[in-house]
A and B are shown apart, each in its own frame.
Chain A
Amino acid sequence: MIELQGVTKTYTMGGQPVRALCQVDLSVAPGEYISVMGPSGSGKSTLLNMLGLLDRPDSGSYRLNGLATETLKEEERARLRGENIGFIFQSFQLINRLTALENIELPMMLAGVNPRERRQTATAVLAQVGLAERAGHRPGQLSGGQLQRVAIARALVMKPRLLLADEPTGNLDQAAGQDVIGVIEQLNREGITLLVVTHDINIGRRAGRRLRMVDGVIVEDIAGDGVAGATGERSASPVADLSSSAQSDAGPNANSGKATGGESGAPH
């Protein structure tokens, strides 16, 4: 489904180049559940934006469902984004003047879907995230957990095959975070491909496949124990996490993301 090859992205900040991504290779199969972790500034969001066609790589190639995205025009990228990719953001990104239902309808409205069909689908999706009775509420009247569920509903409404979540629980308390993760994991079980950027080890560990980034390089790519989540309480320290990665490095799922990453992280 996703095929990244040698993707590099460099920003300049204050005249100095900052490597946000460096020669990243990554392939993702449909239906995978992947968590992306790593220190702040390591390029997680940049990777996600790249996958979501919000950003263009400086070099390297990105094939989405076999389509070479570098050659696409901005119009086509926008359409592809609207139809195939759902975004969930840390800060929800709901429009305050619109009701929950209207926020959810927004992607369909942009795609030109007719109002009746729009309303039907949006209502169904809102029920799916358990907020059917909040359809007419505006963001100001909802709790953080509810806001993120509305945002999830909005990400789902176009029936995308790829769901990208950038720290979806970052602004939520423990319980609400669990709640939201529960919702998107359910979606993954139903077949959607899921990438979650998180700082929360307990959440990251739940994924079937875990990426760890440092300085724009994927330094770890390991198969986890899956969504079952039974391992949740067992290990909490990053050290334990690293050690477990060492064991599974030889596993069949281990893609190498660090071929040339060795020196590039140096400036940090």
Chain B
Amino acid sequence: MRLTDQIHFNWQLFHGHRVRTVLMLVAVAIGVASVIMLTSLGEGARRYIDREFSSLGNRLLIVFPGRKETTGGGPPVYGTAPRDLTLEDALALGRVRDIRQIAPIIAGTALVARDSRDREVITIGTTRGFFEVRQLTVGAGAILPARADFEAMAICVLGAKLKNELFGNRSAVGEWVRIGDRRMRVIGVLGERGESLGLDMRDLVIIPVRTAEQLFNTQGLFRLMLELREGASETETQDHLRAVIRDRHEGEDDITIVSQDSIIAAFNNILTTLTLAIGAIAAISLLVAGILIMNISLISVTQRRQEIGLLKALGASGRQVRTLFLGESLLLVSLGSLLGIAFALLVVSLLATIWPDFPLAPPLWAIPAAVITALLSGLFFSWLPAKRAAALDPVLAMRGVVG
């Protein structure tokens, strides 16, 4: 029997059993659509994070003090206290060939007050480089001057929201505020910008790193951000950085370096796994559709006993009958899948127009995976009915029924 004939034959069958057919089509379509739509959510989250990181536009390395052992045995036996990563270390690292810019960071929270108003906010002690690395701009005033890289100066840059809390609509540049127990002059206010990498840039205060050392009474940096030059090799640079630290820390490179790429990769990993898991859960609905197909097919085999017997009398072998029944469910699943894909893509593009900020889109693998799962489920669950049809005894099947 030719494939086109099989399809035509089954098509006529669908036409004759419209309700039954629509029911099964809808079941398959729902399964396929839910896989595609749910994985689109996961993929959207992944793309969102990807976009956030790449919007930084540059390649960053982040250096933490102390070493995080990711492999190996138990806790170290002695010397657990890590050496501080100091501003001097940072400046030395900044001289490594492929480092374009450094942003040392000492972070803490401090009470920022003006007159009777005050607010406890995240306080970041850093250098001019921070503004460049994080692509921050001021809405008013100026960023930290180059002098603040080395000197404790009583100046600060306020986040936009913090400024509004303290000053309302009045200009803040040139005014004085109290941070902790120190008076500092406001030299700039950050432009309106939302959250970036989990830090609310509108509700913080930035002060020179030396000032922060005094304010928080620490020599150790919280972390150090390094921006790589265009085309620099990341691994090579990491080696250089470690060499510099070994030099300065008596042979120990007790720092942890995390690259922007590895962070993105880690997020990608997590979110891809999550998306796969969501997809697998959604695929359960395809199993349900498969079971529905099996039940309906079993009924259909019983109803069509006579026809099956006839086909055999007309020269169809058991194998042919089985192929015909399997083909019926594969055709059904294919049509249902097409419906499901169309529906899912429609919904996804609709949502994408409603929330243009969220990059909702099905992952590449979702559509083929959903369709293949649907086909396999259809094949698996129609195997039993098809086998039954193939095994029907033609004489019995045609016996005593009025045509």
Is the CB–CB distance between A52 and B313 below 8 Å?
yes
Which of B1, B4, B311, B401 is in CB contact (< 8 Å) with A91?
Answer: B401
Is the CB–CB distance between B12 and A110 below 8 Å?
no
B337 on the interface (CB 8 Å rule)? no
A82 on the interface (CB 8 Å rule)? yes
Chain A residues near B319: list those with CB within 8 A.
75
Is the CB–CB distance between A91 and B402 below 8 Å?
yes
A79 on the interface (CB 8 Å rule)? yes
B247 on the interface (CB 8 Å rule)? no
List the A residue with the shortest CB-CB distance to B313: A87
Residue count of chain B within 8 Å CB distance of chain A = 28
Chain A residues near B314: list those with CB within 8 A.
81-82, 87, 106-107, 110, 154
Residue count of chain A within 8 Å CB distance of chain B = 34
Q: With contacts defined as CB atoms under 8 Å apart, how many contacts are there between chain A and chain B in the complex?
A: 78
Chain A residues near B395: list those with CB within 8 A.
49, 54-55
Is the CB–CB distance between A109 and B9 below 8 Å?
yes
List the B residue with the shortest CB-CB distance to A158: B315
Which of B1, B306, B315, B401 is in CB contact (< 8 Å) with A81?
Answer: B315
Chain B residues near A87: list those with CB within 8 A.
313-314
B16 on the interface (CB 8 Å rule)? yes
Interface string of B364-403 (1 = CB under 8 A from A): 0000000000000000000000000000001100100111
Is the CB–CB distance between B315 and A93 below 8 Å?
no
Is the CB–CB distance between A78 and B312 below 8 Å?
yes
A33 on the interface (CB 8 Å rule)? no
Chain B interface, DSSP helix/strand/loop, else mixed: helix
Which of A83, A91, A98 is in CB contact (< 8 Å) with B315?
Answer: A83
Docked CA distance A189–B233 (Å): 94
Binding site for B on A (CB under 8 A): 49, 52, 54-55, 74-75, 78-79, 81-83, 87, 89, 91-95, 97-98, 102, 106-107, 109-112, 114-115, 139, 147, 154, 158, 171
Binding site for A on B (CB under 8 A): 1-2, 4-5, 9, 12-13, 15-16, 306-307, 310-320, 394-395, 398, 401-403
Q: Report 25 cross-chain contacts, Cβ distance below 8 Å, ordered by A residue.
A: A49-B395, A54-B312, A54-B313, A74-B318, A75-B319, A78-B312, A78-B316, A78-B317, A81-B313, A87-B313, A87-B314, A91-B403, A92-B403, A93-B310, A93-B313, A93-B398, A97-B12, A97-B13, A98-B12, A106-B314, A107-B314, A110-B314, A110-B316, A111-B1, A139-B403
